[in-house]
Structures are given as structure tokens and as C-alpha cells.
A and B are shown apart, each in its own frame.
Chain A
């Protein structure tokens, strides 16, 4: 049997990711985990929900990513009066040679990188229009369905503190995000570095390190990273341990309303594959799954009221699930 050659050298994917991270680091101070999560989401072909207070560089991150990847970039500021047609486009009447006809005018979703800023401020109708595009990667206006450009990456942001006048994303829609990353407040040292970089005469200009073809090839290579059965079983055990009816963990039974969905397992395994590539490996390790467990699962573990009352977060529960799930036992 002749071995099937990958379309892209796995080593090249590692180099691409490393160069992308290096390039972004020229503009983004700190936030290495956030950048790593973004790169993983990009190579995995998913979408990402960023949660953090304003001013932490979420928009800068997405814009910088567009520059570094030579991809088209669009930013949509979600507001309560934003309509679906405002993002997916609409048919307008145009008169040409004395004849009136409808012509489709594409919305901002028709870009490779879309920043859905403060996505929870739009009405559910508009949110669902975005989320349909995220899932199907197509947009239907009237009777015509149009494919979105590839690669297509939505980075949605939401503010965790200003909840008045917002429409929190329902569970089914949250599940469509590959990762949910928390944007932490920078350290004092990072703050100073941000001030140094952004208050001078010149702002660093990023160079493109990859194009859409390279990204698509990397996405294909990532899916070919093998995962051993016992590692896959461990991923399954992690997912099962988040379900209150199927876990042995008392805290999960007490605080979790719904556990992670099968999409959570898909995200966990795929993110593990990408991380393995980024680490220069050609197989998924337990460590990969553990490393991506938080961004892959935190928005898929839905907590009870008691968790909020006891100040228990999804991340704390995921930590316990990871800690208490024995790798050797899970692997049988």
C-alpha cells in the first residue's frame, strides 16, 4: 500500500502557526493564550467567542489577524436595531436601461474574517442570522442561497459586565462556537508595553505570513492528525464527566444543568489535533486535550442557579473534571 501524502507538509503547518503567532505578537501584547486559541480556531475551521471587557484588544486582534493572513476582514458592530439584512445583505431595486430589477447587495458577512462586536447586543433574530451563516457557511436571501468565502472565521465578542439591554446567546447558539476564550486584563508590565507600542509615532505594520489557500490546506492537514483510541476515549470520558446524570463528581451533579454536547467532543478532539501540530507533534496527546478543554467546553457546560449563588464557574468545574478523570482508567 502506498502511503497517501498530505497536501501540506505537517511541519509547514507548524511553521505557519508559529510565524502567525510571532507576527501577531508584534502588535498584541501578552494574551498568548488568546492568540493561541485564535490560531487553533482558525486552523480548525471554527468560530470563536471572545468574552472580555472593552479595551482589551479584541478588535485589534481580529484586525491584525486579517493583516497577517492576507484575508478580507469585516467588522459588524451589533446593536439592538441591527437587522439581519444588515449583515447578510439584501436585494435592492436598481434601474438599468430603463428597466428595474432586484440586485443582491452582499452584507459584511461576505468576508474571510468577521468581527461580530458585542454580539449579545443584537436581537435574537439578527443573532440567529449570523449563527446560521456560521453553521452553514451560506447565506440565503429571498430564494437564493449564496456561499460565504472560505476560509470563513467569525470572531464574536461580548461584554460580561454590561448586561442591561443585551440578549444573551441561547445555549444552542453558543454551542456553534468552536471556542470561547476569555480575554484577561493584562498585567502591569503588559500594560506598560501596550502604552509604549501604541503611543509612539509609528504603529507596527504586520506582514502577511499566509493566504487563504495555506489556511485551507492547514485545515485539511489538521484533520489528518491521528489520535489513539485510548486518547479518544479519554476525550469521551471528559465529555461524559460534564453530564450531571452520568458523572461521579458530586460538584458536577450539584452545579451543572446540562453537560457538553457532541459538538463539544468534536471541538475537543479537533482542537487537540491542531494543538498537536502547533506543538510539532503528529499525534494527539492527553496534554493537548487538557490544554484545549477550557475554551472548548466552558460555553458548553451550562450551570444551575446554585453555581452562580456559590460563585462556581464553568472553568472550575472543568478543572475538577480534568483532575478527577483518570487517563489510564479512561483508556481502559
Chain B
């Protein structure tokens, strides 16, 4: 290594030392500026992962500055030129370095002169280690601003938390729907599970999960419920009523008492009992036949289902005329209709379970939507209430959306649709919209306790077994009586009792309209 090479090496290390500190400050400044930019942006826009962005930017800034540091490092000639200028060497080093491979008449003395002058100079002074005060202060200012903004509360945090809660509520609602799917699949034999119900639940689950917010997710529930209700046979209540009347009438006969008990147990058991009775008609006494014919005729008159009414009427007429064979045929037909009723009720139970699942999901989403609206109202600093509409006419499912910042959702039930509760909002005005459903809609409530069994001690359900359901109109009067008794026995203001009373009165009026 020649002496000129030694000079270059010394200058190179000096330059590295000098620029390293400077570029390190550049990197710190770049990282601080990046963090400050992200923090400022996070105050204007809801950035989900602002800390992650900040963390990613820091190594990127350092790497970028390091690359720039390496890319712009001076070459040997540049080092020599800079040393000439900064050390006052009058271009001796650069000229000698440029002509280091030449042997002209003056090159030797030139090199010697350059090296002598370089030896008398502290070469490191060409690249002093130091920082520009302006950049140091700028870096400090940016860093302090970034730290300050990080520590100060961010108004966007509330919005981000709400979004997270929204997503959690939607995921929970979707999970609830999924649980309803599983429950339906587990409760019924595979062959009896209606694939349409599963498809509707699957679609609703996907839409709830992918909706932008709980309010949007809520809008998917009512259509799903309507689709489910369309799968229900509208004649089922009429047949169930006919079967019940038949059981009541048979209970007073000698020959049909067993069939009556079987019918009370279930339509399928009733069907078997009716078939059994049909096969033993010849064994009945004429009096019992007449009694049975009378019961069948009465049931036929009370029957709301035309097919069952016709079968009952034919069986009654045949028995009355002594045509046992024709009566047995008609009773077999009636048994077939009872089997069909059993299938329909099973299907309706699946639909009810699906609707229950959707309703549970609706509750979860509505709660979160209410919280969102309340949060928005609170942040607006003024309270207002948006009242959701109530389903009007007949029975219906109503979904009310409050305009302004209030919103609400409600579901009309059975004979008297009741609107949802409006969300709280700032000066919001609720405008409810109820969709009147078909008059055939039936809403189920958990079944009344079995006589002799305490209400607080329900029979344990088997795995996958759904809560047994009872038609709404069969229990509303009992519920009303219990509520009114409780209100009378409790130490509550009279106006509150009136409120309970008027509530059930309004339900009764709506039920009467059905």
C-alpha cells in the first residue's frame, strides 16, 4: 500500500466516522417524523393498527438511511478533493491521487510534496465529527411532538373500540346462528333436516359476519326470518286445532279414550292409536260405535282443516250407517293426515329453532347497535331519542330505523306486533317502518310447565333437544294473569300496575285483530 493509499484510507475512516453520526441523526429524524405523521394521521382517520405502522416505519427509516449512507459514501477522488479544500492543501492530494499511476517529470516531486503536506496536517480534520445544531433541534422537536401526541388521548380510540365491539358482536351473532344450525341438525334425524332452513341460516350467518356494522347486519335478519316463515305450512295450526278438538271429543268416548290420550301426547302417537282403533271397530259395541260416531261428527264440525274435516265426517257417517269398513278406511286417512301433521310440526319446530337463533343474534346486534348509537349521541353531547316503529296490522316483523343518529330495531310479534326500541341519538328522530307479515305467522314461546312440575325446575333437556314450544295465543292469557297478580302483590306504584295492564290490553287488542 502506497502512502497515498494510506492517506485515502485515513480519510475514508474519517468520513465514515463523521457521516455515521450524521446519518444516524438523519435516521432518528426520519423515524420520529414517520411516527409523528402516523400519530397525526391516527387523530384524523381511524387507523386500526397505528402502533404497528409506527413500529414498521422505524426500521424502514433506519434501513433507508443506511442504504443512502452506503450509496452516497464518497469515492477516493472525492475524499482527496474534499481534504484539499477543507485542509487548504491546494489540490495537492487530488492531483497526486489522479496521477498516482503516472511517472511524468514532476509526478515524483508532486507526490512527495503532497505527502509531506498531508503528514503535517491532521487528516481527520477534513471530516469533523459533529452534528448540525439545526438538525439536532429539529429532531428533538419532532421526537417530543411525536411522544406528546402518543401520550395524549386520541379521539379516534373510542371509534376504534366501537368498531372492535361491532366486529365482536357480529362474530358472536354469527356464532349464535351457527349454534342454531348445529342444534337443528343435532335435534333431528339427518333425513328430516330441511336443507332450505340450513341454507337460509348459512346465508344469514355469512351476511351478518360480513356486514360493515351491526345496523347493516340487523337488516339481514328479518328477510331470513321471512324466508323461514315461508317454509312453514299455513294449515298446520288448523290441523293441530282439529287434532286437539278430536282428542277432546274422543276423551268422552269409551272406544276413543286411548286414542285421545295418544293424540294429546303427539300427532304420530295419535295416528297409531287411530289406526289401532280403526282396526278394532268391529269389536266395539254398537253403543260405543254410536258414541264414537258422535264424537267424530262433533270433531268434524269443529275442524278447521277441510281435509281432516272431510275424513272425520266420512268416518262418522260410515260408523253411523254401520259401514265399519268404510269408517276404518276414513280413519286410516285421518291417521295419515295426523302423520303429516307430525311432520309439519317437526318442520315448524326447526323453523322456530332457526328463528330463535336469529332472534338471539338480533338481540346481540341490536344491543351493540344501541350502544353505538348511545356512544354517538354521547359524543355529540346532546341527547335525543329515536323511536323505532312498530309493526302495523296483523302480525309482522318490523324493523325500525331512526334517522339522524338514532336507530332502533324491533320485531313485531304474533297478534300484536311491537316495535323495537329506538336507539339513543343526538336530536334523532326515529321513523319506524314495520312490515306486516302474513296473517298465518305464528310466534312460539317456551312451552307451559308440565302440570305437577315446578316452573323453576324444568325437565332437563337431552343433548341437542330444543326447548318445547307452545303457540303464543295459548299462553298469553296465563302470562297476563301471572303478570297482573305479580303487579297486584308487589309494592309498586299504581301507575306502574296500569302500565302492565295496558300493555296486556294492547296485546289482546292486537291479538283480536288476527
A binds B: yes
Chain B residues numbered 92-115 whose CB sits less than 8 Å from any CB in chain A: 92, 94-96, 98-99, 103-110, 113-114
Q: Supply 8 A–B pairs (Cβ within 8 Å), ascending by A.
A: A3-B107, A226-B95, A226-B110, A228-B94, A230-B81, A282-B113, A283-B92, A283-B113
What number of A residues sit within 8 Å (CB to CB) of B? 27
B514 interface contact, C-beta 8 A: no
A231 interface contact, C-beta 8 A: yes
B199 interface contact, C-beta 8 A: no
A248 interface contact, C-beta 8 A: no
- Which of A86-94, A162-170, A284-292 is the contact stretch? A284-292
CB atoms of B105 and A4 under 8 A apart: yes
Chain A residues numbered 1-42 whose CB sits less than 8 Å from any CB in chain B: 1-6, 10
Chain A residue with Cβ nearest B96: A283
When chains A and B are docked, how far (Å) is the Cα of A6 from the Cα of B107? 10
Set of chain A residues within 8 Å of B107, measured between Cβ atoms: 3, 226
CB atoms of B106 and A226 under 8 A apart: yes
When chains A and B are docked, how far (Å) is the Cα of A327 from the Cα of B98? 17
Q: Residues of A at under 8 Å CB distance from B?
A: 1-6, 10, 221, 224-231, 279, 281-287, 327-328, 331
For the complex with contacts A231-B91, A281-B90, A285-B90, 5 further pairs of A-B residues with Cβ separation under 8 Å are A4-B105, A224-B104, A283-B90, A285-B91, A287-B90
B104: contacting residue among A226, A228, A281, A284, CB under 8 A: A226
Q: Residues of B at under 8 Å CB distance from A?
A: 81, 85, 90-92, 94-96, 98-99, 103-110, 113-114
When chains A and B are docked, how far (Å) is the Cα of A173 from the Cα of B221? 102
Chain B residue with Cβ nearest A286: B91
Interface centre among A5, A227, A229, A283 (most CB of B within 10 A): A283
CB atoms of B91 and A283 under 8 A apart: yes
Set of chain B residues within 8 Å of A5, measured between Cβ atoms: 105
B81: contacting residue among A4, A227, A284, A331, CB under 8 A: A331
When chains A and B are docked, how far (Å) is the Cα of A308 from the Cα of B403? 82
Shortest distance between the CB of A319 and any CB in chain B (Å): 21
Set of chain B residues within 8 Å of A229, measured between Cβ atoms: 98
When chains A and B are docked, how far (Å) is the Cα of A67 from the Cα of B447? 139
When chains A and B are docked, how far (Å) is the Cα of A4 from the Cα of B104? 6
Shortest distance between the CB of B121 and any CB in chain A (Å): 15
Assuming A285-B90, A287-B90, is B95 touching A228 (CB within 8 A)?
yes
CB atoms of A4 and B95 under 8 A apart: no
Chain A residue with Cβ nearest B109: A282
CB atoms of B109 and A10 under 8 A apart: yes
When chains A and B are docked, how far (Å) is the Cα of A331 from the Cα of B98? 13
Set of chain A residues within 8 Å of B90, measured between Cβ atoms: 279, 281, 283, 285-287
CB atoms of B94 and A224 under 8 A apart: no
B106: contacting residue among A2, A10, A287, A331, CB under 8 A: A10
CB atoms of B110 and A228 under 8 A apart: no
CB atoms of B104 and A3 under 8 A apart: yes
Shortest distance between the CB of B36 and any CB in chain A (Å): 34
When chains A and B are docked, how far (Å) is the Cα of A264 from the Cα of B90? 22
CB atoms of A225 and B98 under 8 A apart: no
Assuming A229-B98, A331-B81, is B91 touching A284 (CB within 8 A)?
yes
CB atoms of B92 and A226 under 8 A apart: no
CB atoms of B103 and A3 under 8 A apart: yes
Chain B residue with Cβ nearest A282: B110
Interface centre among A5, A224, A227, A230 (most CB of B within 10 A): A230
CB atoms of A282 and B106 under 8 A apart: yes
